[in-house]
Amino acid sequence: MTEMLVKSGVQLVLLLLVAPLISGIVKTLKARLQTRRGPDVFQPYRDLFKLMRKGMVIPDTASWIFSVTPYIVFATATLVGLMIPMTATDAPLSLFGGVLAVVYLLALGRFFLALAGLDTGSSFGGLGSSREMTISAIAEPAMMLAIFTVALGANSTNLSEMAQAAVSQSWKFLEPSQMLAFAALFVVLIAETGRIPVDNQATHLELTMIHEAMILEYSGPYLALIELGAWIKQLVLMTLLVNTFFPFGLSSDWTVAGLGMGLVVYLGKLLGLACFIVMVETTNAKMRLFRVPELLAVAFILGALALISTFLF
């Protein structure tokens, strides 16, 4: 019990520290690749502190849903972060929720965020909610198929078990089923974290926005919580990708030395994935909204192929 609490505490601190950093790294890398100077990698922390010191403006039309949503978004993303192996194979709360709980807890956060979008009464909010729920609905089957492929290989939906299984066969990612599942999950990651070509995180007050439209009315500490929640969610999905497919360097125990090594390798892997995301974002143009289902259908087909190839090979 105490051991679990200590582990949770350590991982919580790690989550809160790394999530804004990764967001900052992606922003900086993107700016550099587009020959802009861009903010430095620590800008997200400054944003957070600044937002925390600001006052809030709450729309007259909003109800209590608007006020509880930031907390729920933050709490679901953070709880999910404790269920996923970051630097060691056994995640603190892995026993209490596997990959299905992860997906559905994130859905809980999204459910409330979409309600908050409608709650403001502005048409931007409704527009964002509608699009967010639509895209996430069609991304879900692709995500599940890819996850199932990995889970069936590991014989478990528990993320620690999945990571353990991956560690024991560390070259497994070269198998076609794993590569296909990775590709499918990568597309879902792009869609779920609101990146080009599906959504654009840098956009504001444009008709193409999705996530930003939902949170348009938020300000001050509420916005800080929502932003932090979104960064943690992004980190969780990236971690899911790097640690289930490339489990190198995951520490098998919670010693300081093991965790230190694990952390270094983990950050390295995240950096690699971040570079990949930046490449995709920079080399693609944003899609029309109604082209997005085609992209996600491709992800679904990739997931289905991944599943079939576990059966064939």
Partner 1 sequence: MNTFPIGEAFTLGLGVYSAGAIACLASWRKPVLARHLCCGTALAGAILQAVAALLGILQGAPVRWAISSGVPLFGFSFAYDALAGFFNLASAILGAAVSIYSFTYLKEFEGKRNIGFFGFLYHLLLLSLTIAFTAANAYLFLIGWEVMALAAYGLVTFYHEDRETRRAGLLYVIMAHVDTGCLLLGFALLSQASGSAEFASFRTAAAQLSGGQQAAAFVLFFLGFSIKAGVIPFHIWLPAAHPVAPSNISALLSGIVVKAGIYGMVRIFFDALGVLPPWAGVLVLIVGVASAVLGVLYALMEHDLKRLLAYHTIENIGIILMGLGVALVFRVVGHPQLAAVALIAAIFHTLNHAIFKCLLFLGAGSVHHTTGTRNMEELGGLIRPMPVTAFCFLVGAVAISGLPPLNGFVSEWLTYQSLLAGYGATGGLIRILFPIAGSMLALTGALAAACFVKAFGITFLALPRGAASRQAREAPRSMLWGMGFLTAACVVLGLGITWFLPVFDAVTAQLLGVEVGANLISGNGMVLSTGTPKGGTVSTAVIGLGLLVLLIPAVLLVSLRARRNGHRHGPAWDCGLPGLSSENEYTATAFSKGLRMIFSALYQPRREIQAVFDVSPYYPKEIHFESEIEPTFEKRLYGPLQDLILWFSTRMRAIQAGSIHAYLAYIFITLVALLILVSRR
Site residues for partner 1, 84-103, by CB under 8 A, read 93, 95-98, 100-101, 103
Give the interface segment with partner 1, choosing from 126-134, 235-243, 252-260, 268-276 (CB under 8 A): 126-134
Options 3, 37, 64, 313; binder of partner 1; rule CB under 8 A: 64
**Residue 141 Cβ, how far from partner 1 at the closest point, in Å?**
4
Q: Which is closer to partner 1, CB of 79 or CB of 277?
A: 79
For the chain, the C-alpha Rg in angstroms (whole number) is 19
Q: What secondary structure letter does DSSP report for 173?
A: G
Q: Cis peptide before 247, with omega less than 30 degrees from 0?
A: no
Q: Which is closer to partner 1, CB of 19 or CB of 265?
A: 19
Exposed/middle/buried for residue 43 (C-beta within 10 Å: 0-12, 13-18, 19+): middle
**Residue 234 Cβ, how far from partner 1 at the closest point, in Å?**
18
Q: Which is closer to partner 1, CB of 31 or CB of 108?
A: 108
**Residue 28 Cβ, how far from partner 1 at the closest point, in Å?**
28
Options 3, 55, 256, 313; binder of partner 1; rule CB under 8 A: 55
Give the interface segment with partner 1, choosing from 122-130, 173-181, 234-242, 258-266 (CB under 8 A): 122-130
3-class state of residue 52 by DSSP: helix
**Residue 268 Cβ, how far from partner 1 at the closest point, in Å?**
29
Q: What secondary structure letter does DSSP report for 252?
A: S
Q: What secondary structure letter does DSSP report for 88?
A: B
301 binds partner 1 (CB under 8 A): no
Which bin fits 194, alpha (ψ -120 to 50), beta or left (φ > 0)? left
Neighbours of 308 (CB within 10 A): 14
Options 56, 202, 264, 279; binder of partner 1; rule CB under 8 A: 56
User: How wide is the angle at C-alpha 106 spanned by C-alphas 220 and 42, nearest 5°?
Assistant: 45
Residues 52 and 50: their CA atoms lie apart, in Å, by: 5
- The CB-side HSE value for 295 (13 A sphere, CA atoms) comes to 24
Exposed/middle/buried for residue 221 (C-beta within 10 Å: 0-12, 13-18, 19+): middle
Q: Which is closer to partner 1, CB of 254 or CB of 300?
A: 300
Options 38, 39, 176, 220; binder of partner 1; rule CB under 8 A: 220
Closest CA to 114 of 219, 213, 202: 213
Give the interface segment with partner 1, choosing from 16-24, 32-40, 125-133, 236-244 (CB under 8 A): 125-133
215 binds partner 1 (CB under 8 A): no
Options 26, 84, 114, 190; binder of partner 1; rule CB under 8 A: 114
94-116: b or e for each residue (b if 16 or more CB lie within 10 Å)?
beebbbebbbebbeebbbbbbbb
62 binds partner 1 (CB under 8 A): yes
Q: Which is closer to partner 1, CB of 121 or CB of 268?
A: 121
Binders of partner 1: how many residues, by CB under 8 A?
90
**Which residues are 88's β-sheet partners?**
251
**Residue 287 Cβ, how far from partner 1 at the closest point, in Å?**
14
Residues 129-168, mask of contacts with partner 1 (x by CB under 8 A)? xxx-xx-xxxxxxxxxx--xx-xx-xxxxx--x-------
